[in-house]
Structure 1
Amino acid sequence: MKKVAIKIFIEISRLIMSTLYNKQYLKGRWFDNSSKGWRWCWRCIFMQKIVGYNRRIPFPVSHRNNVGNYKNLIFNPNDMNNFQNFGCYYQNFHGKIILGDGTYIAPNVGLITQNHKIGDLDNHEEAKDIILGEKCWVGMNSTILPGIILGDKTIVGAGSVVTKSFPEGNCVIAGNPAKILKRLD
């Protein structure tokens, strides 16, 4: 009985949500074999589509997150979980944020592609892309600054400020500024 109810819920959700969100995002592990993605959609509707937080974003994103420009955000729909946390700040009005497959972003993480100019705060520096490799994990309350490249399987410790790139990956970094604490095999 429970399996039948879940299948009905998924089919009703698929029909309704495809009118509110872009179908290319309503697929993958959270939608094809799970009801979790559909529950995210239902949870996001009121604040996102009616109240207006992140209204123009064509995929379900929690109102507790801030996405500057969804067109500059590149990710796999299998990683839709990264937009359901709270307090994440994807500041990418100019400059791209690229999340590698299987990467996890914890709550309260800031990914910033452009900073203010020192001495002229009314203007900004040139935007620089942020690229996170596959299977990275960015711990809670971390900040990743413009132009950062993290190689595959980089773990960023909670509360870190990443001011330089670690393109080789396979490491644990932490601190302010972040530095390598451990190499991974």
Structure 2
Amino acid sequence: MKKRYTVRQYFYAGISLIKKIFAQVIGILFYDSKYLKGKEFSSYKYTNGWRWVMENFFIQKVIGYQRHIPYPVSFRMQVMNWENIHFDINDISNFQKGGSYFQAAADAHIYIGSGTYIAGNVGIITANHDLNNLSLPAPGKDVNIGKECWIGMNSMILPGVSLGEHTIVGAGSVVTKSFPEGHCVIAGNPAKLIRKL
């Protein structure tokens, strides 16, 4: 038996289609199209990716907060030196979290492995102040986060840290040293090994 649709279902499908088309036009005009092809951007439906385009383009591209970034970034987070941040386009959701701070210094990079989840209010920092002269920055150090990691809410990843794949960082942790072997849960301030996975 063929499924029958109601007028209301047709109406909502039409609205969804109009929103998706409008979001695609905005996306083409304001963002680099190579960032609009990940799993969050369906060519048929009004998915999360298109919703993020619509939520962020006015503040990001018209008002100008983080205008230079070529992909949708939440106005509730801060990204410094986007050119030094490397990630899989399928993980663009990591740039939609409120309160997060991704600071890639001019001489350092942030590498985020594919399939990694980063919660809200997370800080990833590649450079601190010089301890002898706080008005000067210390040299930057790369931060490497492996594939399929999970960085819990309110965590801080400090310069030079390397996390192996499938590292789980407990909420509120301050990660001051590397855990390159991965497959573990770390938590605390400073973060320590809780258990191996």
Unaligned runs of 5+ in 2: 1-9
Shift of residue 88, structure 1, vs aligned partner: 0.5
2:143 corresponds to 1:130: yes
Q: Secondary structure at the match of 1:64?
A: coil
Contact 2:26 2:54 in 1 (8 A): no
Deviation at 1:5, TM superposition (A): 4.1
User: What SS is found at the alignment partner of 2:57?
Assistant: helix
Q: CA deviation at 1:16?
A: 2.5
Matched with 1:45 is 57
Q: Distance in 2 between matches of 1:71 and 1:60?
A: 14
Match of 2:176 among 158, 163, 174: 163
Take 1:59 and 1:98, find their aligned partners in 2: how far apart are those partners?
Answer: 17
Out of 4-13 and 83-92, give the one that drifted further. Answer: 4-13
Q: What letter is aligned with 1:131?
A: N
Give 1:81's aligned residue.
Answer: 93
**C-alpha separation between the residues in 1 aligned to 2:154 and 2:113?**
20
**Displacement of 1:109 after TM fit?**
0.5
* Residue of 170, 177, 181 corresponding to 2:190: 177
Amino acid at match of 2:38: G
**Match for residue 152 of structure 1?**
165
Question: How many Å apart are 1:53 and its aligned residue?
Answer: 1.4
Identity among equivalent positions (%) equals: 50
Bigger radius of gyration among the two: 2
Q: Which amino acid aligns with 1:155?
A: I
Letter in 2 for 1:21: Y
Q: What TM-score, normalized by structure 2, do the two folds share?
A: 0.89
Instruction: Tell me the distance in 1 between the aligned counterparts of 2:185 and 2:109.
Output: 24
Shift of residue 12, structure 1, vs aligned partner: 3.1
Q: Give, in angstroms, the shift of residue 4 of structure 1.
A: 4.9
1:31 corresponds in structure 2 to 41
Residue 117 of structure 2 is matched in structure 1 by: 104
Aligned length: 184
Q: Which amino acid aligns with 1:6?
A: S
Is the Cα contact below 8 Å between 2:26 and 2:53 reproduced in 1?
no
Could you give the per-residue CA deviations for residues 2-38 of structure 1, whole angstroms, max 9, x where no partner exists?
A: 4454344323322231110000100111002651110
Q: 2:21 aligns with which of 11, 17, 21?
A: 11
